[in-house]
């Protein structure tokens, strides 16, 4: 090697002591594994490989000649058998240790003779780095305890630290030569050498992989569907994560629609020029649920109208409350008649026709046999206290890449109805034109409390893929979500799942639904804000949600940060 190259890559100085080496400003020590338990579990080395501190690992594996190995095993088997016979002659009680050793030796001999196993020498070495000697000792203790909990023991390479460092260098030289004979089965448990990597060439960054500090970059449209669920307790970062994803999706050309129950997305809309509609009884924005959907090119007008009437049936049942089978039939007939009153009939061209309003539906019901009771229950939505946005023509323009519907000022009783109406309105928009879109439904548990609205949400999630749509359902009330008969089907129809910090009371249900290990349960219970588990298809990693300073200014809901932002010079109130 050229001397100039050596000068560039070599440290300025090396200080060698029996326990460690000082390389420039770093301290390093090398450990070697000298004993293993009888059984090695798969992935036992993963915690060391994925350890967050700076470490180097070197594993040297060399094959042992099968004939030589069998010869040595015969000798060892003879020695063990002789010891057992000697103890028996002396009248001593049996030795479980020797009997187990004899069984293991015979089993290994059979495997080698039948070519089911091979024998190797394996040397595993770990070099730790730290800024100070004390920090190095603490790190050594943590790594040693981590392995000892699995009955795997290490020792520092005393007086051989330089050789130890040379062993972990990528030169493939085992300068320590401290090895253990292992057959193929136990040796395979060293793998994988590299932890799960969820960094793809396309998509957006969701956060940092806490296992190995790599970036979690994923394109949700690359999976079988683009749906996602986010489960978290209040204050653990679920809305923050949704806003961060929405902001990054917009930068990649994906349109975003959001149902915002708590006015958390207004700052985001202002920053990127999105449309923000505040829905309330006194709101200037209205959505007519009876609007005629735009008919897609590949679908028949008759089929679109029938589907729309089915969706309206669910909405009306949500408004009037529990209905009998006779009343269900009356609602279905009334819907057909209310559209027929405006010359909107299946099988005929109804393009350009003026849609009816909810009050027209009430009038039709009052003139039908058995419909008076339904009309009375519908009265408060047409002329009563709830006659705001549900009984007026639509005046909302959805010609924007970011559209947000806020429902903070809406009465709790009206929220499920409003969410249903808006989702149905959005669904009509999505079916009309094929384009990459994501719909965020915050506090989705509100819809799951009623069977009709839960059915509609499930239908939306199930059919979204056909229309290049991804649906993100976000909830903090996991119990209401999972107790619904449509809760688990929505999860199984969502290729992406994000679990943030969970409440202990819900941990059993979460663990059963997502088949979590004990370690994953503990991670979710002890997670800090923005930490959790990210599932993408069959892969999942521990994740830390990370935003840049500029992104954080736009999406934070932390009261202290919001107040500080408002007090900055030039901030808008």
Q: Please list the helix, strand and coil fractions of the chain in percent, rounded to the nearest 5, in that order.
A: 45, 20, 40
* Whole-model pTM over 0.85: no
Beta carbons of 460 and 427 less than 8 angstroms apart: yes
pLDDT of residue 193: 47
- List residues bridging with 35 in a β-sheet: 153
What's domain 196-278+397-573's superfamily in CATH?
P-loop containing nucleotide triphosphate hydrolases (3.40.50.300)
CA geometry: angle 166, 167, 171, nearest 5 deg = 80
Residues 6+ apart with CB under 8 A from 222: 200, 202, 203
Two tokens, residue 200: 């793809």
In the DSSP assignment, the letter for residue 414 is: G
Spatial separation of the C-alpha atoms in residues 345 and 331, rounded to whole Å: 16
Give the Cβ contact number of residue 507 at 10 Å. Answer: 16
Beta carbons of 453 and 318 less than 8 angstroms apart: yes
Beta carbons of 84 and 97 less than 8 angstroms apart: no
- List residues bridging with 218 in a β-sheet: 204
Residues 6+ apart with CB under 8 A from 89: none
Spatial separation of the C-alpha atoms in residues 170 and 177, rounded to whole Å: 16
DSSP string, 431-451: HHS---EEEEETTTHHHHTSH
SS3 for 55-116 is EEEEEEEEECCHHHHHHHHHHHHHHHHHHHHHHHHCCCCCCHHHHHHHHHHHHHHHHHHCCC
User: CATH number for the 286-395 domain, one of 3.40.50.300, 3.30.1360.70, 1.10.8.730, 3.30.930.10?
Assistant: 1.10.8.730
Q: Which residue has the tokens 């000792």?
A: 137
pLDDT of residue 162: 93
Beta carbons of 154 and 164 less than 8 angstroms apart: no
User: With 0-12 CB in 10 A as exposed, 13-18 as middle and 19+ as buried, what is 460?
Assistant: buried
Beta carbons of 54 and 198 less than 8 angstroms apart: no
pLDDT of residue 194: 46
pLDDT of residue 573: 45
Two tokens, residue 100: 């187990």
Q: Which residue has the tokens 């909302």?
A: 396
Spatial separation of the C-alpha atoms in residues 175 and 168, rounded to whole Å: 9
User: With 0-12 CB in 10 A as exposed, 13-18 as middle and 19+ as buried, what is 472?
Assistant: buried
Q: Hey, where are the domains in the chain?
A: 1-62+119-194, 65-117, 196-278+397-573, 286-395
pLDDT of residue 11: 73
Q: Would 196-278+397-573 and 286-395 be classified into the same CATH topology?
A: no
Beta carbons of 111 and 118 less than 8 angstroms apart: no
In the DSSP assignment, the letter for residue 487 is: H
In the DSSP assignment, the letter for residue 296 is: P
Beta carbons of 400 and 258 less than 8 angstroms apart: no
Return phi, psi of residue 19, to 5°.
-105, -20
pLDDT of residue 201: 79
SS3 for 8-42 is HHCCCCEEECCCCEEECCEEEEEEEEEECCCCCCC
Mean pLDDT, each 10-residue run in order, the chain (573 residues)? 68 86 90 89 78 86 84 82 79 76 78 78 93 93 91 93 92 91 83 63 88 84 92 88 94 93 87 90 86 79 86 90 90 92 83 87 91 90 81 85 89 86 87 89 87 88 91 87 87 92 86 82 87 86 90 78 60 49
């Amino acid at each position: 090697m050229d001397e100039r190259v050596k000068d560039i890559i070599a440290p300025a100085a090396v200080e060698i002591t029996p326990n460690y080496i000082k390389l420039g400003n770093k301290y390093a020590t090398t450990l070697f594994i000298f004993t293993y338990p009888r059984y090695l579990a798969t992935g036992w080395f993963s915690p060391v490989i994925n350890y967050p501190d700076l470490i180097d690992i070197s594993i040297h594996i060399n094959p042992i000649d099968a004939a030589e190995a069998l010869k040595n095993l015969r000798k060892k088997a003879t020695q063990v058998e002789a010891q057992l016979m000697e103890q028996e002659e002396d009248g001593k009680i049996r030795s479980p240790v020797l009997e187990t050793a004899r069984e293991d030796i015979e089993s290994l001999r059979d495997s080698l003779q039948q070519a089911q196993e091979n024998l190797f020498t394996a040397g595993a070495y770990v070099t730790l780095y730290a800024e100070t000697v004390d920090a190095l000792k603490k790190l050594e203790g943590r790594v040693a305890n981590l392995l000892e909990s699995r009955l795997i023991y290490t020792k520092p390479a005393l007086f051989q630290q330089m050789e130890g460092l040379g062993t972990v260098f990528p030169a493939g030289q085992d300068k320590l030569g401290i090895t253990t004979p292992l057959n193929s089965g136990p040796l395979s448990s060293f793998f994988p050498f590299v932890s799960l990597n969820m960094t793809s060439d396309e998509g957006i960054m969701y956060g940092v992989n806490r296992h190995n500090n790599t970036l979690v970059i994923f394109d949700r449209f690359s999976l079988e569907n683009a749906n996602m669920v986010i489960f978290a307790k209040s204050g653990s970062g679920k809305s923050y994560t949704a806003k961060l994803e929405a902001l990054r999706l917009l930068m990649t050309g994906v349109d975003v629609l959001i149902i915002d129950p708590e006015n958390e997305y207004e700052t985001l809309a202002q920053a990127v020029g999105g449309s923000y509609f505040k829905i309330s009884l006194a709101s200037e924005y209205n959505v007519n649920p009876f609007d005629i959907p735009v008919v897609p090119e590949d679908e028949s007008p008759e089929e679109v109208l029938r589907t729309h009437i089915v969706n309206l049936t669910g909405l009306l049942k949500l408004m009037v409350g529990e209905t009998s089978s006779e009343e269900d039939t009356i609602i279905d007939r009334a819907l057909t008649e209310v559209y027929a009153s405006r010359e909107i009939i299946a099988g005929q061209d109804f393009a350009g026709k003026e849609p009816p309003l909810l009050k027209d539906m009430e009038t039709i019901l009052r003139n039908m046999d058995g419909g008076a009771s339904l009309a009375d229950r519908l009265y408060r939505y047409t002329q009563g206290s709830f006659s705001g946005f549900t009984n007026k023509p639509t005046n909302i323009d959805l010609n924007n890449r970011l559209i947000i519907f806020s429902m903070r000022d809406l009465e709790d009783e009206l929220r499920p109805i409003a969410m249903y109406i808006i989702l149905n309105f959005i669904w009509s928009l999505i079916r009309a034109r094929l384009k990459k879109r994501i719909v965020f439904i915050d506090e989705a548990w509100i819809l799951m409390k009623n069977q009709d609205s839960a059915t509609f949400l499930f239908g939306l999630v199930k059919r979204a893929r056909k229309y290049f749509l991804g649906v993100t359902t976000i909830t903090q009330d996991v119990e209401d979500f999972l107790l619904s008969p449509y809760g688990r089907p929505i999860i199984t129809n969502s290729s992406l799942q994000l679990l943030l910090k969970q409440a202990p009371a819900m941990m059993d249900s979460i663990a059963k639904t997502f088949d979590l290990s004990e370690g994953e349960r503990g991670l979710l219970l002890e997670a800090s804000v923005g930490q959790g588990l990210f599932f993408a298809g069959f892969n999942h990693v521990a994740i830390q949600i990370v935003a840049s300073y500029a992104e954080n200014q736009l999406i934070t809901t932390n009261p202290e940060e919001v107040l500080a932002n408002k007090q900055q010079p030039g901030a808008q109130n």
